[in-house]
């Protein structure tokens, strides 16, 4: 196409005339007049792939849906970025994605907790030996600085998945330990509890019943030790060492990106029903870990961002598509490890991943203090 710099393409977006240089995408053209179009597989600086279909908009002139991230604005286009029809198509794609999305947005313990504590997050912070953050997570999610466990009968422990293996985590003791630690240290005073309105009901993807082998998949990285009861007087609760050991028994079966997941955010926005297109049989949950990177393939939407990033940054190994059709997967070539695939780009890939498929786990390689106590390294 002859690129005349002075040439300006005029089209309309939601009825407003827009003039942009040739080659401008609809997404960029829309942003010049402040019109927001949702995206998932798009990242500025990378070649748009138009894979995820969430940015579909309608060109009324041609009466077709076009992906705003990749389609260029053309003269005479009459683009509508939002109406019932467009919302329906986006919702359709999202519902299809959820029909093949295996994982819980929220762990069973958190759903059971009357105080609404983000239990897995608190425990994760404990495992990371970051008690200050654990206190923050507890009080912030509980919405109050009062003793969070005073009103209930350990519903969380009844729901805990670990209970199906040996015994549930002693969540009550753990939460109490963190809370008391917060009060004694004074950290609790510096936290602003989140107002209850901010803890509104969100879309929640749920795995349903566990399939054969899935509990083992969760157990892979948890401490194999049995449930620890406080050796001191029960009223005094856990010692430091006990608390850390017990925390490391957690299966971490929640989603590490529950708050930042773009798929979930869109699910909220479009009123998605998780089981609108139920599968004959859902896939089996898997979790692959290497060093600090956690990859859960069943949460991947195959948007290709991580593939493009590793390719663009000239990773020696990188990530790639493997297989085709429904069975296509993002994987490491030649059965390499995750950290080898993303030697220099891990942070970028994890940040770009729109779902919880790629996330950072605990810093497993840092020797933890309770190793000396004869516990397996987490």
Smaller CB separation from other proteins, 71 or 159: 71
Q: How far apart are CA 344 and CA 372, in angstroms?
A: 32
The helix/strand/coil state of 243 is: helix
Q: Residue from 213, 224, 271, 279 that binds other proteins (CB under 8 A)?
A: 279
Q: How far apart are CA 154 and CA 159, in angstroms?
A: 9
Which residues in 31-60 contact other proteins (CB under 8 A)? 48-53, 56
Does position 182 interact with other proteins (CB under 8 A)? The reply is no
Query: The tokens of 184 are what?
Result: 């004694």
Smaller CB separation from other proteins, 208 or 224: 208
Smaller CB separation from other proteins, 101 or 173: 101
DSSP string, 312-373: HTT-SS--EEES-GGG-EEE-GGG--HHHHTTTTHHHHHHH-SSTTEEE---TTSPPGGGGG
Of 93-101, 132-140, 174-182, 283-291, the window that binds other proteins (rule: CB under 8 A) is 93-101
Shortest CB 290 distance to other proteins, Å: 24
Q: Residue from 28, 60, 82, 100 that binds other proteins (CB under 8 A)?
A: 100
Smaller CB separation from other proteins, 53 or 173: 53
Q: Nearest Cα to 306, choosing from 370, 238, 359?
A: 359
Smaller CB separation from other proteins, 3 or 235: 3
Which residues in 57-86 contact other proteins (CB under 8 A)? 65-67, 70-72, 74
Residue 289: beta bridge partners? 294
Q: How far is CA 240 from CA 169, 174, 226, 243, 365, in A?
A: 16, 10, 17, 5, 21
Residue position matching structure tokens 């085709």: 324
Q: Nearest Cα to 112, choosing from 154, 173, 62, 57?
A: 154
Which residues in 298-337 contact other proteins (CB under 8 A)? 301-302, 304, 320-321, 323-328
Q: Residue from 89, 191, 210, 219 that binds other proteins (CB under 8 A)?
A: 89
Contacts with other proteins, residue ranges (CB under 8 A): 1, 48-53, 56, 65-67, 70-72, 74, 88-89, 92-93, 96-97, 99-100, 277, 279-280, 301-302, 304, 320-321, 323-328
């Amino acid at each position: 196409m002859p690129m005349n710099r002075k040439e300006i393409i005029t089209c309309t977006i939601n009825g407003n005339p827009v003039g942009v240089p040739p080659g401008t995408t609809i997404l960029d053209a829309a942003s010049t007049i402040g019109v927001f179009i949702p995206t998932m597989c798009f990242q500025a600086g990378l070649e748009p792939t138009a894979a995820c279909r969430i940015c579909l908009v309608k060109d009324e002139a041609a009466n077709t849906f076009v992906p705003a991230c990749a389609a260029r604005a053309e003269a005479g286009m009459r683009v509508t970025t939002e109406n019932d029809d467009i919302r329906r198509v986006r919702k359709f794609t999202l519902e299809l994605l959820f029909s093949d999305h295996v994982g819980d947005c929220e762990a069973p313990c958190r759903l059971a907790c009357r105080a609404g504590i983000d239990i897995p997050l608190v425990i994760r912070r404990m495992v990371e030996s970051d008690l200050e953050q654990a206190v923050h997570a507890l009080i912030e999610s509980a919405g109050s600085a009062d003793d969070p466990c005073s009103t209930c009968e350990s519903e969380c422990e009844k729901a805990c998945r670990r209970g199906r293996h040996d015994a549930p985590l002693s969540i009550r003791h753990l939460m109490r330990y963190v809370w008391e630690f917060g009060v004694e240290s004074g950290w609790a005073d510096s936290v602003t509890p989140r107002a209850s309105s901010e803890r509104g009901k969100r879309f929640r993807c749920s795995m349903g019943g566990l399939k054969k082998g899935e509990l083992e998949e969760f157990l892979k990285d948890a401490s194999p030790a049995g449930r620890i009861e406080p050796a001191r007087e029960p009223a005094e609760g856990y010692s430091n060492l006990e608390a850390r050991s017990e925390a490391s028994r957690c299966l971490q079966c929640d989603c590490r990106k529950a708050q930042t997941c773009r798929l979930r955010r869109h699910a909220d926005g479009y009123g998605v029903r998780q089981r609108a297109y139920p599968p004959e049989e859902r896939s089996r949950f898997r979790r692959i870990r290497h060093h600090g990177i956690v990859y859960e393939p069943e949460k991947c939407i195959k948007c290709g961002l991580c593939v493009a990033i590793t390719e663009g940054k000239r990773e020696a190994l990188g990530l790639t598509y493997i297989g085709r059709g429904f069975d296509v997967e993002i994987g490491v070539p030649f059965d390499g490890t995750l950290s080898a695939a993303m030697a220099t780009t891990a942070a970028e890939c994890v940040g770009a991943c729109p779902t919880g498929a790629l996330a950072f786990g605990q810093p497993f390689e840092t020797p933890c203090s309770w190793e000396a106590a004869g516990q397996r390294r987490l």
